[in-house]
Chains A and B, each alone.
Chain A
Amino acid sequence: MVAEAVKENKKSKARDGYVFSVRGKALVQAALVLCALVLFLAGGFVEYSFNLINIKLGGADVLSGSLYGGNVGYMNYGTVLYLHIPVYITLLGWLCLLAPLACAVYSVLRSFVFKKDNRISGYILLAFGGVCIVAYILLLTCGKIPATDVNGNKTGFYRIFEVKSTFLMFSLLAVFAGFVQLFVKPQTMLKVKRFAVFYIILVIPTVLVLIFNVYPSLLQTVLAFKDYTLSTGIWGSDWVGLSNFKYIFSDGKMLMVIWQTIYLSFLRLLAGTIPAVVFALVFYHITSKKYKAAVQTIVYIPHFFSWVVIYAIISAFLMPNGVINNVITNVFHGTPIDFLSRQDLFYANMILSSIWKEVGWGTILYTASLMGIDRSLFEAASIDGAGFFKKLWHITLPSVVPMLVYQVIMAVGNLLKGAGGEQILIFATSAVKENKALVIDTWLYWEGLQELKYGLSGAVSFVQSVIGFGMVVGAHKLSQKTVGIGAW
């Protein structure tokens, strides 16, 4: 009797939990769909822009326009003109309103009335989201989709219309809602409820990441395959296939830029590792802890200064009226040297100043690995008759090798980004701006941004990040295999 009652109780509890979970899931799905619909209706859907006429259309505009025969009126210098919205856009608009809404309503009804989970709405949402994303890509890329501009001329859709990024967000939300419906087990919903506040916390960072990381990556990919002109904007510019990439890898100047990036990165790798290892060893062999701490405190300081400040400090020494030149002219009666403007000294200035800035800080990592040496090894070696240099060679040095290898490998992975564009932008003079100072990062600023070479810039940063990604992952694997230190 008792056992049965307990069993019954358990069963009903499980059922209640299940019902609660299913309802919760349906509500989450409905909430996501609702957010998506608000984004779609009130936010942007498509934007018409051609010949200085800009019309932003939200989902609500498109839908209400379809009730007036697919036209949207707008004011142009006091007269009302009409823009014809292509039929497929109207259809897509209605689909976007009805499909997710139907799914959400179905889920909610089914869970509240029949207390049951359903998979069908999940499938539909996924399929719908997929269709939206495909439509998004097709509308933005395919030149054969016809559309009519305000003057009645037939042209390609993407030349005059732009599907807004909010539509992509909308599609992704729909896909996400589908995922929730399909792949979240009802049991997990209890946890989800417990962590509800966490999901709310994650909303802000997620939105920031989508806007400031994911979307720019998408834009960059699009730009890489476009011939950007200011008048047509990003989305209306011509698709040019791989010609931007071909240009990068065939044009003499671009190749020089890439070569100099790699060259400077390599120089920086040498400048960043060798002095740091040497001074880590120097610090390691100092027995007085207080003295060591005092020195370390001082040498870390320059790392925290900006390149602007470093340049300012250095200029006090190297400018024509700086201290070194004052010594040259007044003590040795020589002629002053304008160190900072000399083309042949440009790399030397940069590398030496970056050694000055980073050498102290660079020792930290190696000091950490030196601290890991077991001191008894030295004593054992001494007993075995090993001299000082033998111990240095066989015990001390090998302990920094893994960290050194790790640093080198990661720097190789970062070869296209490690040229130090920020420093160059400050150190460059007009004499070197056209030749020695050109690396990928500075090229992006001086030519890409200032001369509006957006398409080419997109391709350059695309190459930079894709090759960079491949190399970092490769480097990570290699580093793990050889020295056992991964990048993450």
Chain B
Amino acid sequence: MVRGKGEKIFEAVCIVLAALLALLCLYPLLYTLGVSLCSEAEWTSRNGLLVLFPTRPTFTAYRKIFGVGSYVLKALGMSFLRTAVGTVTSVAVNALVGYVLSRRDFPGKNKYIYLLLFTIFFSGGLIPNYLVIKELHLLNNFWAMILPNIVSAWNILVFKQFFTGLPKEIEEAAIVDGTGEIKLFLKIVLPLSTPVVASIGLFTMVTHWNNWFDVMIYIDQAHSSLWTLQYYIMINFNNLSQIDSSVIIGGSGVSQLTQRMALTIVGFLPILCIYPFFQRFFKDGVFLGAVKG
């Protein structure tokens, strides 16, 4: 393609703009890391003007928030537990339902899809959901964070779409061979579906990790052992929460800000760790379906 001078200049502008955007997205994260490693002495000597990293980084803030009897460690454990249980249950159920609905000759398939569409449009608001959880005696219970989030109509539809796209011959051959339906799913269909399972799984993971709203609604202060890390960070920052966040105290060599930033790093580091795995699915078509959902 022949390119004129104007196009070259335009591309240069685009390259600069893209670089600026990337910098804008990356710098705050690095800065947060920098602050979390900064000692109080250095912070004051620099008048709080840290460009990126401190000259003498210290892990005191991390040692402090993970110190003996720390809430953060418990909250982190709870976050991991919730993410693991929530993701496994949700992906298992949604994949199975998606598979069931992908079978063309399954009697009752369309009616079930209508039920799922209903859930997309009509969900009880905040208060009915709260009342249901209360009625089931699930308040202050771990499962209040899991059960309502298991069935996701969008994810089921994405799964269904993917499974429908698989060659029909596999299915037919297996039926002729007399393979049971469950075996067919586990042994043949599932191994062919790693992209969709992984991308939905990763999205579900992120959603569970990031969720703090359920905790705020369903878990009270007396059951703070069920608090997840995100909620914990939230009450440490939120101006409206009346809960005293007693873990973060000034003094002892690192400032309050530094400790808060260390907490923030802990809050997003797991996401950054699984992020590279996302990348593999960016190219796949399934990803778009998941995005649209």
Contacts known (A285-B11, A287-B11, A316-B257); A323 close to B48, Cβ less than 8 A:
yes
Question: Which of A117-125, A208-216, A236-244, A264-272 is found at the contact surface with chain B?
Answer: A208-216
Bound complex: CA A195 to CA B29 (Å): 51
B59 within 8 A of A: no
Q: Are A331 and B49 in contact (CB under 8 A)?
A: yes
With A295-B22, A301-B25, A327-B49 known to touch, is A184 a contact of B291 (CB < 8 Å)? Answer: no
Question: Any chain A CB within 8 A of the CB of B32?
Answer: yes
Q: Is the CB of B14 within 8 A of A426?
A: no
* B4 adjacent to A191 (CB under 8 Å): no
Q: In the bound complex, how far is the Cα of B240 from the Cα of A65, in angstroms? A: 53
Give the residues from 328 to 343 in chain A that come closer than 8 angstroms, CB to CB, to chain B.
330-331, 340-341
Contacts of A219 in B (CB 8 A): 124, 128, 131-132
What residues of A have a CB within 8 angstroms of the CB of B260 in the complex? 312, 315-316
Distance between B129 CB and nearest chain A CB, rounded to angstroms: 5
Within 8 A of B (CB), among A88-143: none
Asked if A321 contacts B121 (CB within 8 A), the reply is: no
8 Å CB contact of B267 from A217, A308, A454, A462? A308
| Residues in chain B within 8 A of chain A (CB atoms) | 1-2, 4, 6-7, 10-11, 14-15, 17-19, 21-22, 24-26, 28-29, 31-32, 35, 47-50, 93, 96-97, 100, 103, 105-107, 112, 115-119, 121-132, 136, 147-148, 150-151, 157, 180-182, 206, 209-213, 216-217, 230-231, 233-234, 237-240, 257, 260-261, 263-264, 267-268, 271-272, 275, 278-279, 282, 288, 291-292
A282 to B32, CA, bound (A): 28
Determine how close the nearest CB of chain A comes to the CB of B76; give it in whole angstroms. Answer: 14
Stretch of A16-24, A68-76, A196-204 at the chain-chain interface: A196-204
A397 to B212, CA, bound (A): 39
Asked if residues A191 and B18 are in contact (CB atoms below 8 Å), the reply is no
Which residues of the partner chain A approach B209 to less than 8 Å between Cβ atoms?
306
In the complex, what distance in Å separates the CA atom of A327 from the CA atom of B260? Answer: 20
Which A residues are CB-close (under 8 A) to B100? 195, 198, 201-202
Looking at the assembled complex, report how far the CB atom of A167 sits from the nearest CB atom of chain B, in whole angstroms.
14
The bracket for how many chain A residues form the interface is 35 or more
Across the interface, A326 reaches (CB within 8 A) one of B31, B49, B118, namely B49
* Contact A184:B107 (CB < 8 A) given known A223-B127, A295-B18, A298-B22: yes
CB of A247 within 8 A of chain B? no
Whether, in the assembled complex, A50 has its beta carbon less than 8 Å from a beta carbon of chain B, the answer is no
Task: Decide: A198 near B29, CB < 8 A? Known: A209-B115, A309-B267, A387-B4.
Answer: no
Contact of A216 among B115, B129, B210 (CB under 8 A): B129
> Which residues of chain B come closer than 8 Å to A351, judged between CB atoms?
none
Contact between chains at A430 and B124 (CB < 8 Å): no
Tell whether, in the assembled complex, residue A195 and residue B97 are in contact, meaning their CB atoms are under 8 Å apart.
Answer: no
Asked if residues A465 and B210 are in contact (CB atoms below 8 Å), the reply is no
| Chain B residues within 8 Å of A322, by CB | 257
How long is the Cα–Cα vector from A287 to B48 in the complex, in angstroms?
A: 41
Counting CB contacts under 8 A, is A379 at the interface?
yes
The smallest C-beta distance from B20 to any residue of chain A, in angstroms, reads 10
Query: What would 19 more interface pairs be, CB under 8 Å, given A209-B119, A282-B18, A295-B22?
Result: A195-B100, A201-B100, A202-B112, A208-B93, A211-B132, A212-B132, A216-B131, A282-B14, A282-B17, A301-B272, A306-B210, A306-B230, A308-B210, A309-B267, A312-B32, A312-B233, A312-B261, A315-B237, A488-B157
